[in-house]
A = this chain, B = another copy of it.
Amino acid sequence: MRHILTALLASAALAGVAQADPLRDSALEIFKPLPSTIPAVKDNPVTPEKIELGKALFFDPRISASGVFSCYSCHNLTTGGDDNMETSVGHGWQKGPRNSPTVLNAVLNEAQFWDGRAEDLKAQAKGPVQAGVEMANTPAVVEATLNSMPAYVNLFQVAFPGEENAANFDNMAKAIEAFEATLVTPAPFDAWLNGDDAALSDDAKAGLQLFVDKGCSSCHSGVNVGGHGYYPFGLIEKPGSEILPPGDKGRFAVTETADDEYVFRAAPLRNIALTAPYFHSGKVWDLAVAVEIMAESQLGEALKPEETAQIVAFLDSLTGTVPVITLPNLPPETATTPRPTAVVQ
């Protein structure tokens, strides 16, 4: 029996199964691997019916006043869950105020938006639909749109059984939240946290060590390697006004507390290699440069080039696998569907 055990242990070691590893032990105190099941959300049981409806709504440009924009427009699931622009283009070709954050793994953030002003994804989902610079729509028109299509009304009734007038704005947001809860992206870092020694390169491991030792993980921690906690941008040294525009005081606009000037939610770093440009201003396109700016402004550290490269290698290990998403077939309009408005100014 002892022989068999010894042989098993030896083969486990050869296969790269976890050995005692102080780096992993300390990492597990700071970070958490993604769950293997769809995360639960507050006051909104996630059901297959809600997910299906939410996917349809996420892809539906008729939610916007112009008929041009859907959630997918700025949270493009083919390019990391964001739109790869400094700030998004919205209704009438207006420029949004801040860089579009990724929807991938957003369900695991403590709160939504750069300033955390939405408690959760169902609260978040209502924002862009009504924002004048984004979809420029109203709840009344959205509800008229949804109720004009019998196939949508049916999807809502199935997703929210027993509710009268189920095709309403609140349920739209809940269904979108349910779909977005499915958008978690397991990455090599998760495999390594879960015990697969071979999942991270030596550079990535060295980068992780630096990420912890230098203090990055003081703010960027937890399951989303960020996405919770609020911190001033420029804690040690304010970056230039292009990167930190003086007109955007961050969380101050939410709390109206002087301490919250230029305070933002720590950015979640999963899939960060896919979501350039960086920061709320979207002014930095190179991940290495973004790492250097963070080190200087938040930690007062001037990183050596090889340290930056190793931290970037660690960040690359946060690029995950997006779930397979099939395009929905959206309900067709009817004669009573509100027409796109204000298409051209």
Residue A11 at the chain B interface, CB threshold 8 Å: no
**Chain A 47-89 per-residue mask, 1 if CB under 8 angstroms from chain B, else 0:** 0000000001001111000111000010011111001111001
CB of A71 to closest CB in B, whole Å: 12
Copies per assembly: 2
Structural contact, B324 and A326, CB atoms closer than 8 A: yes
A95 to B92, CA, bound (A): 11
Q: Interface of chain A, helix or strand or loop or mixed?
A: loop
CB distance from A94 to the nearest CB of B (A): 7
Partner of A61, one of B83, B93, B344: B83
A140 located at the interface, meaning its Cβ lies under 8 Å from any Cβ of chain B in the complex: no
Q: Known A67-B83, A332-B273, A332-B274; judge A78-B343 contact (CB<8 A).
A: no
Q: By the criterion CB–CB under 8 Å, are A343 and B61 in contact?
A: no
Interface residues of A (CB under 8 A from B): 56, 59-62, 66-68, 73, 76-80, 83-86, 89, 92-95, 273-274, 276, 285-286, 322, 324-330, 332-333, 335, 339-340, 343-345
**What are 21 A-B residue pairs whose CB atoms fall within 8 Å in the complex?**
A61-B76, A61-B84, A62-B79, A62-B84, A66-B89, A67-B84, A68-B85, A77-B327, A78-B329, A78-B330, A79-B332, A85-B340, A85-B343, A89-B344, A93-B93, A273-B332, A276-B333, A322-B329, A325-B326, A325-B327, A326-B327
